[in-house]
Structure 1
Amino acid sequence: MGLLAVISLWVLLPFLPAMIWAAMIVIATWSTMLKLQTRFNNKRFPAVLTMALLMTAIVIVPLAAALFSLLTNRHVIVSGLQDLANTQLPPAPEWLEKLPLGGARLAARWNELAATAPQELIERARPYIHQGFEWIVGSVGSITMLVVHCILTIIVASIFYSNGEKIAQSCRTFIRRLAGLRGEEALRLATQSVKAVAMGIIGTALIQTALGGLGAWLAGVPKPGLLTAVILIFCVIQLGPLLPLLGAVAWLYSQDHNTAGTILLGWAVAVGLMDGFVRPILIKRGADLPAAVITVGVLGGMISFGIVGLFIGPVILAVTLRLLSAWMTEETEPTVFKRVIDKPVESPPPPEINH
Structure 2
Amino acid sequence: MNFPRPLHDLPRMLFSVTFIALMTLGCFWVVQPFILGFSWASMVVIATWPLLIKVQHLLWGRRSLAVVVMTLLLLLLFVLPVSILVSSIVDNSAPLVAWASQPDRLNLPTLAWLQDVPMVGRKLYSAWQSLISGGSAPLMTKIQPYIGKAASWLLGQVANLGSLLLHCGLMILFSVLLYLRGERVGMAVRHFAIRLGAERGDASVLLAAQAIRAVALGVVLTAIVQAVLGGIGLAITGIPLATVLTVTMFVLCIAQLGPLPVLIPAMIWLYWSGDTTWGTILLVWSCVVATLDNILRPIFIHMGADLPMLLVLCGVLGGLLAFGMIGLFIGPVVLSVSWRLVFAWMQEAPPPEKIDNPEKQLRELH
TM-score normalised by length of structure 2: 0.73
Given the alignment of the two structures, is residue 251 of structure 1 paired with residue 266 of structure 2, yes or no?
Answer: no
- Distance in 1 (CA, whole Å) between partners of 2:106 and 2:264 is 12
Identify if the C-alpha distance between structure 1 residues 60 and 286 changes in structure 2 by more than 3 Å, giving closer, same or farther. Answer: farther
Task: Return the offset for 1:61.
Answer: 1.9
Q: Distance in 1 between matches of 2:206 and 2:243?
A: 39
After TM superposition, the structure 1 = structure 2 runs for residues 29-108 of structure 1, keeping only pairs within 5 Å, are 29-66=48-85, 68-70=87-89, 73=92
Identity %: 36
The 5 Å alignment of 1:276-287 reads 276-287=294-305
Q: CA deviation at 1:311?
A: 0.8
Q: 1:141 Cα shift? A: 2.5
Q: Match of 2:24, SS?
A: helix
Task: Give yes or no for contact 2:255–2:320 (8 Å, CA) kept in 1.
Answer: yes
Residue 249 of structure 2 contacts residue 258 of structure 2 at CA under 8 Å; is this kept in 1?
yes
| Letter aligned with residue 263 of structure 1 | I
CA contact (8 A) 1:70 1:229 kept: no
| Higher normalized contact order (CA 8 Å, seq sep 6+, divided by chain length) | 1
CA contact (8 A) 2:78 2:168 kept: no
| Displacement after TM superposition at 1:250 (Å) | 0.5
8 A contact 1:300–1:313 mirrored in 2 = yes
8 Å CA contact 1:24–1:194 kept in 2: the answer is yes
After TM superposition, list the pairs within 5 Å mapping 1:306-321 onto structure 2.
306-321=324-339
- Aligned pair partner of 1:191 in 209, 217, 228: 209
Equivalent in the alignment of 2:42? 23
1:259 Cα deviation from its structure 2 partner: 1.4
The answer on whether the counterparts of 2:193 and 2:202 sit within 8 Å (CA) in structure 1 is yes
Looking at structure 1, the residues matched to 23 and 256 of structure 2 have their Cα atoms a distance apart, in angstroms, of 39
Contact residue 252 and residue 261 of structure 1 kept, 8 A: yes
Say if 2:225 is the partner of 1:211.
no
Please state whether the residue corresponding to 2:307 is helix, strand or coil: coil
Question: Which residue is 1:293 aligned to?
Answer: 311
Q: CA-to-partner distance for each residue in 1:52-94, whole Å, 9 max, x for gaps? A: 11211133322443355356645667869x9999679876998
Contact persistence 1:64–1:146 (CA under 8 A) = no
Gaps of 5+ in 1: 98-107, 333-355
Does structure 1 retain, via aligned residues, the 8 Å contact 2:84–2:244? no
Structure 2 residue 160 is matched with structure 1 residue 141? yes
Residues in 2 aligned to 1:286 and 1:313: alpha-carbon distance in whole angstroms: 16
The number of aligned residues is 310
Query: 83-92 vs 15-24, which deviates more?
Result: 83-92
Residue 25 of structure 2 corresponds to 6
* Structure whose alpha-carbon radius of gyration is higher: 2
Structural mapping, 1:108-123, within 5 Å: none
Q: 1:46 deviation in Å?
A: 1.4
Deviations 1:265-292 (A, max 9, x none): 1111211111111111111111111222
Instruction: Please report the RMSD computed on the Cα atoms of aligned residues, expressed in angstroms.
Output: 3.7
Unaligned residue ranges in structure 2 (runs of 5+): 1-19, 133-138, 351-366
